[in-house]
Structure 1
């Protein structure tokens, strides 16, 4: 099929920043795009060829949108999977497939998938309701500390809580959930794997992630990860095995823990472009977004190694500020060597909302990390 400057239509479910960055590459290739999102102010609206308003969890909205395109992909997991399954039966190509997405959407099913496929992950217990977690603690079958995770709809640090005492469960939604053993890890790592319908597979380098202690969001992504080569290879091997088990098409971001004994445990996965790959835009030969397009269109995959060390800094709304966004001191950071800001186009800020990111590149990854610290302390995402 001819995808370039043709009648081919690529559909994207979700109009957020991941979709916006994906559209940079569809524009580069002159691929016609249609985007579905529930917000008329979605970042993708200005860059897509067609923008459709609709609820991503509504069967009819997703189904009717999907009938208008040739290939359908996602930039967020929270979409109506029943509609995707119906579209597949009618011959629409959907990547990732509805079967893959149905497993990944639910963290309990996702964890069971790892155990069923002999993939390393931390021990866990599945519960139909959060109240059952309290009962398990009372009966002695579960002990603190552990990590409580909502089985569905967790995103950007939401739906996750470290439980150190029974009182920490107060106020949590009474939903299907898992209680996961708290892993005393050295590092949180990630590897993005790209896979085509033909079976070609390539991985990006291992990245190291540093998280905000309160928001449970990634603050820094460091590529390459500052870990021993043998540990990096273990992480890559686990990511490739995970990709093969899912038999996915497109990108699969595999988030992992490096334990104190240098073992690798899978935390969770995302079947789409991911926050842990943003530095690839400036630092890699092929960005994760271009690679996702290559994969879902069954084109040859691009080179995945880095041209230069890269660190990504997430720009999130500052605490205490809500309303029309202002990026304070952005011109100051642009005066630093190797710094490139990405502004997502969200007009309204609120505490910890992802508003953009900044990439810092340098031949010396430690120097890039030092500059990243300066960037983080200089720029502020506030409101008018």
Structure 2
């Protein structure tokens, strides 16, 4: 599994969504404090107007970022100031998605002006003033990058980021440090230690990468813990379900079998009940699946073939099944496998496939049991006949063939209930 797939999960997304307002606000307050320090330094130094214009734009951008994140964390209120209100509305609409917000774009536009302020634009000022400007710019840029790359969009399992963005994220710390060194260290610094101090500050930008990795590591570890807790929670329900429902279902089978020919609908309902029960029990084995995952149909297959020591494989699609398609697949596979067991099969290959172009499902069972008697195939009142009649309403049918190796394959297809 790739690092990106490891990082993205429902838990990671929910965690980052819940913390985005608080984390983003604290990061914005940090940048505001940095800009205030920078402004005080410019006051003392008597800096020219263009230095103030850079700081002013950065202050407005960071103010909007602080406002957006504050009201995200305090959803009972909304901004009153018009500019902040517009920014917040767009921020809410793009949260958790691969779209930049207004403050983020505005702050990004400040990276270069702030980066060249100390090394290049204030050459006539004292070295200490220039180094403070370098430090303030690096803290500002580092804070922005950290906030950008721990955005919930990077943890949303329903979003795939462009590959180049993921590549940048994987090395943004060293990359930012290298760019900062090229821009800042090459400035006209006087002889002495000032250039080396500026270089050390730039190298410290690598810390942004450490912050991202620690955040990723935390949500990945939390995912493992959550899966463990989910398994325990499921077991707490499934264990009593097994003891209180499993035995009565087994006892009910004897009654249903006696009345199968006179009340076939009752038999189908029994299959739905026991199949659903076995699917829930199957969930005990996997922590990260939903109840509509097709693989849970294997629970019933395990029960049928495990009782007579028949081995099997089960291939299925990964996308969820609608309730109607699930019931159809369940009845078909249950019937096919039961017939294979009655034919003394020792192995079955079970396949459930989906043809997206035709919007059709295909269910098949290939086994090494006794050949099918053509005279008994689709006999009146039989289970296969009833299933075939039901499939006809969905542009489907049941067929069989004998393979060259002596095995037989029974298969059915039908149009999906989901258009």
Range into which the TM-score falls when normalised by the shorter chain: under 0.3
TM-score (norm 1): 0.21
**Bigger fraction of residues in helix:** 2
**Bigger fraction of residues in strand:** 1
TM-score (norm 2): 0.20
